[in-house]
Amino acid sequence: MKNLKKITLILALSAMLGLSLQAKGDVADVTSSSLIPYTSQKAATGEVKEIYTQVKNAFGMVPAPILQHSVNPAQLKALWTQFGASHNPNFSPKLGALMRMAVASSTHDCEYCVGFNEGMLVNMFKMDMKELQAIKKDPRNATSLDEKDKKMLILMVDATRDPKKVDKAQIAELRKLGWSDKDIFDGIKMSTQMVAMTLLVDTLKIQKDF
């Protein structure tokens, strides 16, 4: 979990929209906020409690989608380990949030996922709502990104909207812009994993906690 120390500040800021609710202690402790009850922070023991503590130290809160994984503690542990393994300093927090918003919007319009990341982009990065709405329709409308980041955003969204469209030419273009093969793989991995998270959130009707 050493990598997590590098992103503690970023993750804490990304959760700023939920801090006021979290402080009340009446959202994360509700186990009936999805179709399948999960372990609340108050009821957590053992390894689950330990992971919750690590998550809260990093995020400033324990988001409901992470709490949901306590239904299977092994899955919770794997998810949290994945956060550390997927950290890539070449991806800015803004680019990551734009990817999550765009993917969540285009796959199944996940209200929780879109709302969390949209709020982050407006409050942290002062992005204009008109640009965000345009990006949801087409990542090429990300006018506030430089060419390198915009092309990566396009790839990550393409990987979830129309994966068969991705070809050698698109990969070659990213390499010319300075992205390594590891970066490209990480981008695709992050965006396709985001699809799985949106499906989980919407299927179980996980309620907003921010």
Please tell me the pTM assigned to this model: 0.81
More confident call, 19 vs 37: 37
Of 15-29, 106-120, 123-137, 146-160, which range is least confident?
Answer: 15-29
- Dist CA 138 CA 155 (whole Å): 11
Whether the per-residue pLDDT at 61 is higher than 90: the answer is no
What DSSP designation does 173 have? H
Whether the per-residue pLDDT at 136 is higher than 50: the answer is yes
Token reading at 105: 């919007």
Whether the per-residue pLDDT at 8 is higher than 70: the answer is no
The answer to whether domain 93-203 has CATH 1.10.4160.10 is no
Q: Which of 113, 63, 109 is CA-nearest to residue 83?
A: 63
Angle at 205 between CA 105 and CA 109, to 5 degrees: 10
The pLDDT of 111-138, averaged and rounded, is 94
Residue-by-residue DSSP string for 117-160: HHHHHHHTT---HHHHHHHHH-GGG-TTS-HHHHHHHHHHHHHH
pLDDT tens digits, one per residue of 13-31: 343 333 333 333 334 444 5
pLDDT at 85: 81
3-state secondary structure of 71: helix
pLDDT tens digits, one per residue of 185-210: 999 999 999 999 999 999 999 988 87
**Domain assignments of the chain as residue spans, ordered by start:** 2-85, 93-203
Q: Which of 82, 47, 64 is CA-nearest to residue 200?
A: 64
pLDDT at 24: 37
> In the structure, what pLDDT confidence band is assigned to residue 178 with cuts at 50, 70 and 90?
very high
> In the structure, what pLDDT confidence band is assigned to residue 106 with cuts at 50, 70 and 90?
confident
CB atoms within 10 A of CB 141: 17
The pLDDT of 29-37, averaged and rounded, is 73
